[in-house]
């Protein structure tokens, strides 16, 4: 039996979208391949509200995160971490020999604009890496306020990990001034894993040109050159099946309407939060709760593996806590093409399962 996925990626993919993976291959050096990449870019520019160039990468989002920090850091990167994915971005920099410092917030908290201001005021940094939506804690950073700080440092390249939010939450890339905005296909975009994409500003590419050793597969200058000078081509063979499906799925997303899609995510998040508050408690700071994934504090100290096993038998997969929060929390994702009615059915099933566990518990004690 297929379990409906309420984990923060991969997500369930609609059958018609999956079907596009069976499209017969075309040559990747053909005009059709160029036209396919151009169509995808045009649609993504609408979704991201940007005029910037779009880069596709046949890798998961981590590839572009590593490529961004390695390509764009001339002097030193400031990596702001509010959990596992920020920590990983810092590790990527360090393991590439890129000078970088990490600025942490406690789990469940956001990166504050004052932290960014204090770091940039030192004059040490020319790259800022920021997690838009931390999947470990279900926190969305206050990018509007952080953008105001970044505006005062025009030489700094701003890279944003929007892997678990782009497509489910509005991100106005150009108005905010984000230079590199990264996401993967298997989260809010509702596609299988294996491809990622980002918008990249001219400023980011000019910065990268000054960096002598950028690697090759994830070199932003090389990728940018192929897209802009060689008519939307790629240095290596891209995952054409992902591109066929992405082209089609973006039509679906734009037909739903970005605003309607973001509203739907907000509605689903509200339902899961209300449920979590009634049965448990929310783990994270209520001012920064994510609209794509909710992190629930396991206040009843119940066995999550047991709960998830029972839910699995009823056709649902939830997510355990991540990293240091493994035993203290569990997570429910509400992203991509999931509908509010489906979330309601899943929550009703959770209620039934919790009641069943409570009854068995009582019987055992009696």
Residues contributing to the site for ligand PLP (CB under 6 A): 8-9, 60-62, 85, 131, 133, 135, 161, 163-164, 184, 196
Q: Which residue has the tokens 């993504």?
A: 44
Pick between residue 135 and residue 319 the one whose CB is nearest to ligand PLP.
135
Pick between residue 133 and residue 308 the one whose CB is nearest to ligand PLP.
133
Dihedral angle, C-alpha 20, 21, 22, 23, nearest 10 °:
60
Pick between residue 179 and residue 353 the one whose CB is nearest to ligand PLP.
179
Peptide bond preceding 10: is omega within 30 degrees of 0, i.e. cis? Answer: yes
Pick between residue 73 and residue 186 the one whose CB is nearest to ligand PLP.
186
Q: b/e per residue, 342-354, with b = 16+ CB within 10 A? A: ebeebbebbeebb
CB of 133 to ligand PLP, least distance (A): 6
Give the span between the Cα atoms of 240 and 203, in whole angstroms: 29
CB of 192 to ligand PLP, least distance (A): 11
CB of 9 to ligand PLP, least distance (A): 5
The CA R_g of the chain, rounded to the nearest whole Å, is: 21
CB of 55 to ligand PLP, least distance (A): 15
> What totals of helices (H) and strands (E) does the chain contain, helices first?
13, 15
Q: Provide the H-helix boundaries in the chain.
A: 15-19, 31-48, 61-72, 84-95, 113-121, 143-150, 173-176, 202-209, 220-229, 240-256, 258-279, 304-313, 340-365
CB of 121 to ligand PLP, least distance (A): 27
The pair of three-digit structure tokens given for residue 149, joined into one six-digit string? 């700080």
Pick between residue 38 and residue 102 the one whose CB is nearest to ligand PLP.
102
Pick between residue 164 and residue 249 the one whose CB is nearest to ligand PLP.
164
CB of 184 to ligand PLP, least distance (A): 3
Pick between residue 84 and residue 350 the one whose CB is nearest to ligand PLP.
84
Give the span between the Cα atoms of 192 and 194, in whole angstroms: 7
Q: In 3-state terms, what secondary structure has residue 209?
A: helix
CB of 70 to ligand PLP, least distance (A): 15
């Amino acid at each position: 039996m297929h379990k409906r996925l309420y984990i923060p990626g991969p997500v369930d993919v609609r059958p018609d979208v999956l079907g596009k993976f069976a499209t017969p291959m075309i040559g990747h050096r053909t005009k059709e391949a160029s036209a396919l990449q151009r169509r995808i870019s045009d649609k993504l520019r609408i979704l991201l509200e940007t005029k910037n160039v779009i880069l596709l990468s046949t890798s998961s989002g981590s590839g572009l995160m590593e490529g961004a920090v390695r390509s764009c850091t001339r002097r030193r990167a400031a990596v702001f971490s509010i959990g596992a994915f920020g920590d990983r971005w810092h590790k990527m920099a360090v393991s590439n020999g890129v000078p970088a410092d990490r600025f942490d917030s406690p789990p469940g908290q956001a990166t504050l604009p004052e932290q960014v201001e204090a770091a940039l005021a030192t004059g040490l940094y020319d790259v800022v890496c920021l997690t838009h939506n931390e999947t470990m804690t279900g926190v969305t950073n206050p990018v509007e306020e952080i953008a105001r700080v970044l505006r005062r440092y025009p030489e700094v390249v701003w890279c944003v990990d929007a892997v678990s939010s782009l497509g489910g939450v509005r991100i106005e890339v150009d108005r905010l001034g984000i230079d590199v905005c990264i996401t993967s296909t298997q989260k809010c975009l509702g596609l299988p894993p294996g491809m990622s994409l980002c918008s990249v500003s001219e400023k980011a590419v000019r910065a990268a040109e000054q960096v002598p050793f950028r690697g090759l597969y994830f070199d932003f200058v090389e990728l940018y050159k192929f897209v802009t000078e060689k008519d939307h081509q790629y240095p290596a063979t891209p995952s054409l099946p992902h591109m066929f499906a992405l082209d089609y799925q973006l039509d679906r997303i734009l037909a739903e309407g970005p605003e309607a899609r973001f509203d739907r995510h907000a509605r689903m998040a509200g339902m899961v939060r209300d449920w979590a508050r009634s049965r448990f408690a929310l783990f994270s700071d209520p001012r920064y709760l994510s609209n794509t994934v909710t992190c629930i504090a396991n206040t009843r100290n119940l066995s999550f593996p047991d709960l998830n096993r029972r839910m699995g038998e009823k056709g649902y997969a939830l997510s355990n806590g991540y990293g240091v929060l493994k035993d203290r929390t569990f997570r429910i994702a509400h992203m991509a093409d999931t509908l509010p009615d489906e979330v309601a059915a899943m929550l009703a099933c959770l209620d039934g399962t919790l009641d069943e566990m409570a009854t068995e518990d009582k019987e055992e004690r009696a």
